Amino acid sequence: MVARTALSETALRAENPSARGAALSISDVSHCFDLEGRSLPVLERIRLHLAAGEFVAILGPSGCGKSTLLRLVAGLDPPAIGRLAMNGQAIEGPDASRIIVFQDPTLYPWRTVWSNVALGLEARGLLRSHRERVDDALRLVGLDGFATAYPRQLSGGMSQRAALARALVNDPKLLILDEPLGQLDSLTRIAMQQELVSLWQRAGFTALLVTHDVEEAVYLASRVIVLSQRPARIIAEVANVRPYPRHRGDPHLVELRREIMGHLGLAEAW
Amino acid sequence: MTVAINSATKGVGPSMTALDGHQRSMRAPWIIGAPAAAWMGAALLTVLWPDHGGTDWDYTGSLAAAFAALGAVLACAVLVDHWFACLPRLHQVAPWMLALALLLGGWEAITAKLGLLPLPFFPPPQALLEVVIDDRTRLVEGVLASLRLLAAGYCLGAALGFAVGVAMGWSRAVGYWIQPILRLVGPLPATAWLPLAFFMFPSSYSASTFLIALATGFPVTVLTWSGVASVSKAYYDIARTLGGTQRFLILKVTLPAAMPHVFVGLFMGLGNSFAVLVVAEMLGVKSGLGWYLQWAQGWAAYANMYAALLIMALIFSGLITLLFRVRDRLLAWQKGLVRW
């Protein structure tokens, strides 16, 4: 898969060759939900900066507000307090340069895999002139044989690949990953983690990953952010400077993993 | 992965039935032979057995010829099937062909031949044939008039219902104002409006169009609305992050996602529209199959009524089949639903 994507990678970025990842800044963002008139705080003064091309993972206990943070970054919801900006420009709504990949692939069941991947280009009126990018994106995730299949015919891993292709076809500057591998079996998951790293290295986007898998965070990210229980605050930031490609058995990564478990209050479980 | 997709795309259904039909045809030529013989038997019964009590039906010979022709076609099919083995569909309908031959033969025997049932209430099959042939102009006119009225009312009702349903699902304000009206007026059968409608509209034709549209529109509106309302929010999130405009969201997300619901509404509306069509034609419009039924009753022409009912059944059933075909084509992504 790696070998045959060398060509498509250039095609995917042909629109703007200088486009690499975007910088993201989250400045003192707090957010709350309205639950039957009561205000439920979910995020508390989150301050985080991502350099262009960085791969940052966010870890935290389930239900702490990680996904909410990603929705704010994607521009799907506005923050209650604080400011989010990409490359210095305030985030005021969804934009095709920031694509979010959800835990559930959420492919449209009435469209073929090809049309699902083509969705972003179609929405922006670029499909007619950039049809080959859809084929490239499908090849990139190894689904080129399944262009005419319907989502219900795909396995879980294939669906998630299709969702990834649907994001990558837009050549995002920031890829927002909301536990994208959470529902996959462990073998598919490991294979997809490797692919994610190589995609990120080749396409050069900035990646913001939410996960609850410490090993995944340590294996993928160059920096790991640990959040507290709801309302989520940043309680630790762990830099991970090991070069890519990484190996799961690397003692340095194992050590990092132990440290992060400690931040999550699970030191004795390790 | 490859295995999963293969079994899903190719499917095992069609190839299995083709194989079945092939094997059966090799084994048993009587599957088609029996109905062929039965139709021949019905033809002989019709032509050789003299009619009861001196009544002389004009079309006895034609009926026998029609039976015999069908029998001959089936007999040829037996040969074709035996030598070339390629008629699996015929194998599937063969039992019904046999049952129909027995039914028509039996009907012929107890009416025309034995005179067991009182006339004119229970005419023999040749009487229906006589009506279809001799009164064909009036029947064709009736069919065309009914179809025209039905098409106008149904299309109008379906289009309006769809538009209102989408608007209700999309806009909270529209939903707020339309929903109570729909709740109050919707359950009224459209036929209850009949006296008022004939009074208020300039012609009985326009009144009937309105009533059919009303009968169609209610279920289409309600189901389109519920379809639009039940579209997963995640679908919209996806389209929004990919740069979709409001227009794109409606056309490319809402409508296709709501389509399965819309079709349920269209089916219910079609059933309703048949009922209103027939009643409207009986009570006001001076044309169409409903009017023909009423007119035939005035003359105590029972054979005409049976013929009209039969034609009506064929047309309505055909229309429902047509709608199923359209749905299957549009919703090919959705498999394993109710089959017609």
Give CA–CA dist B266/A226, Å, rounded: 53
pLDDT per residue over B218-245, tens digit each?
999 999 999 999 999 999 999 998 888 8
- For residue B326, the number of C-alpha atoms closer than 13 Å in the C-beta half-sphere is 13
pLDDT of residue A231: 83
A262: closest CA among A223, A208, A214?
A214
Task: Pick A96's closest partner by Cβ from B232, B242, B331.
Answer: B242
Give the mean model confidence (pLDDT) for residues A121-133: 88
Axis-axis angle for helices B302-330, B288-298 (nearest 10):
160
Q: How far is CA A136 from CA A110, A157, B85, B165, in A?
A: 22, 19, 47, 39
pLDDT of residue B16: 45
Task: Pick A120's closest partner by Cβ from B5, B242, B253.
Answer: B242
Total CB pairs under 8 A between chain A and B: 82
Average pLDDT for chain A = 83
pLDDT per residue over A137-189, tens digit each?
898 888 888 988 888 888 888 898 899 889 988 888 899 999 888 877 888 88
- Whether the per-residue pLDDT at A1 is higher than 50: the answer is no
Other C-beta atoms within 10 Å of B110: how many?
A: 15
pLDDT of residue A269: 67
Q: Which residues of A touch B235 (CB under 8 A)?
A: 106, 108
- How many residues comprise chain B? 340
Residues of chain B above pLDDT 70, percent: 90
pLDDT of residue A181: 86
Give CA–CA dist A140/A164, Å, rounded: 10
Task: Pick B9's closest partner by Cβ from A98, A124, A153.
Answer: A153
Give the mean model confidence (pLDDT) for residues A236-259: 84
pLDDT of residue B263: 95
Residue to mutate among A110, A115, A146, with most B CBs inside 10 A, is A110
- Name the amino acid, one letter, at B124: P
Q: Which residues of A touch B333 (CB under 8 A)?
A: 109-111, 150, 152
> Model-level pTM?
0.80
Give CA–CA dist A189/A166, Å, rounded: 19
Query: Is the Cβ of A144 closer than 8 Å to some Cβ of chain B?
Result: no
- Whether the per-residue pLDDT at B207 is higher than 90: the answer is yes
pLDDT of residue B55: 73
pLDDT per residue over B310-331, tens digit each?
999 999 999 999 999 999 888 8
pLDDT of residue A118: 93
Give the mean model confidence (pLDDT) for residues B196-204: 90
Higher pLDDT among residues A269 and B83, named by residue: B83
pLDDT of residue A270: 59
- Whether the per-residue pLDDT at B174 is higher than 90: the answer is yes
Give CA–CA dist A12/A3, Å, rounded: 16
Question: Secondary structure of chain B in the HEC alphabet?
Answer: CHHHHHHHHHCCHHHHHHHHHHHHHHHCCHHHHHHHHHHHHHHHHHHHCCCHHHCCCCCHHHHHHHHHHHHHHHHHHHHHHHHHCCCHHHHHHHHHHHHHHHHHHHHHHHHHHCCCCCCCCCCCHHHHHHHHHHCHHHHHHHHHHHHHHHHHHHHHHHHHHHHHHHHHHHCHHHHHHHHHHHHHHCCCCHHHHHHHHHHHCCCHHHHHHHHHHHHHHHHHHHHHHHHHHCCCHHHHHHHHHCCCCHHHHHHHHHHHHHHHHHHHHHHHHHHHHHHHHHHHHHHCCCCHHHHHHHHHHHCCCHHHHHHHHHHHHHHHHHHHHHHHHHHHHHCCCCCCCCCC
Six-digit token string for B30: 């009587």
Higher pLDDT among residues A39 and A270, named by residue: A39
Q: Which residue of B has its CA nearest to A155?
A: B1
pLDDT of residue B25: 44
Task: Pick B5's closest partner by Cβ from A95, A149, A166.
Answer: A149
- Whether the per-residue pLDDT at A60 is higher than 70: the answer is yes
Average pLDDT for chain B = 86
Q: Which residues of A touch B238 (CB under 8 A)?
A: 102, 106, 108, 119, 166
Work out whether strand A55-59 and strand A206-211 pair parallel, antiparallel, or are unpaired: parallel
Read off φ and ψ for residue A240, nearest 5 degrees.
-135, 95
- Name the amino acid, one letter, at A88: G
Work out whether strand A234-239 and strand A81-86 pair parallel, antiparallel, or are unpaired: unpaired
Q: Which residue of A has its CA nearest to B251?
A: A123
- Whether the per-residue pLDDT at A10 is higher than 60: the answer is no
pLDDT of residue B98: 94
